Structure 1
Amino acid sequence: MKTHQAKRVVITIEAIMQNRLTDTMEAAGVTGYSILPVLGGSGRSGSWSREGQIGRANGMVQVICIIKPERLDDLLDAAFKVVDKHIGVVTISDVEVLRAERF
């Protein structure tokens, strides 16, 4: 079966910034993404957990999208405008997909 190269971009950001990030991504032409809650982790500030949190203010989410390689720079430029001023991590991976027309 033929596969096609794509990029998987994962943006981990404060949950309260989720809508701003996805609005910016959509304005840059990204139409497909998934949003997952981040239950906890550890970073420069030490360990943290969503346990006991009532609101979204201190939580984190991951916004994940798969795009064609030629669209990567536009996505990163848009996302960086949001991530630059807030807690956030952006990772990029090479992936292969079936049905390239979906991306």
Structure 2
Amino acid sequence: MENVTTFPKKRLSIIIEAPFMKRLLGILDDLEVPGYTVLPALAGRGASGPWSRDSLSSDAGRMVQVLVVLDAERVPDVLRAVRAVLDRQMGIVSLSDVEVLRPELF
């Protein structure tokens, strides 16, 4: 089997209420983050107990996950901007190390 070269990057996961998604994506665009993916959060459990997307009648309270993969040196600026949004909203941010196959995409 041929060896595959991977490249280190950082993965930022941001879970935020759906009504604030456009604001967050606008900030990521302003920072020229090379890309992101938005996924629906279907259910979960937090400090307020369990919740399910099916039990909500509007976007208020619905959650989405925004995934970003980027170079480590970009992380502090992006986290500062994300923190400015989350200081006034509900949200969870996690940061992890990842390996990618095509670094030019990030």
Normalising by structure 2, what TM-score? 0.92
- Superimposed CA distance per residue, residues 60-98 of structure 1 (whole angstroms, 9 cap, x where no aligned partner): 000001001111111111111111111000000100111
Q: Give ranges in structure 2 of 5+ residues lacking alignment.
A: none
Query: In the comparison of the two structures, how many residue pairs are matched?
Result: 103
Match in the other structure for 1:17: 20
Residue identity matched to 1:87: M
CA distance in structure 1 between the aligned counterparts of 2:17 and 2:77, rounded to whole angstroms:
22
Identity rate, percent: 44
- Superimposed CA distance per residue, residues 31-74 of structure 1 (whole angstroms, 9 cap, x where no aligned partner): 30000011111111111111132321120000001001111111
Match of 1:54 among 57, 67, 76: 57
Normalising by structure 1, what TM-score? 0.95
| Partner secondary structure for residue 51 of structure 1 | helix
Q: Give ranges in structure 1 of 5+ residues lacking alignment.
A: none
**Deviation of 1:3 (Å):** 1.0
RMSD: 1.0
Contact 2:18/2:60, CA 8 A, preserved across alignment? yes
Match of 2:88 among 81, 85, 88: 85
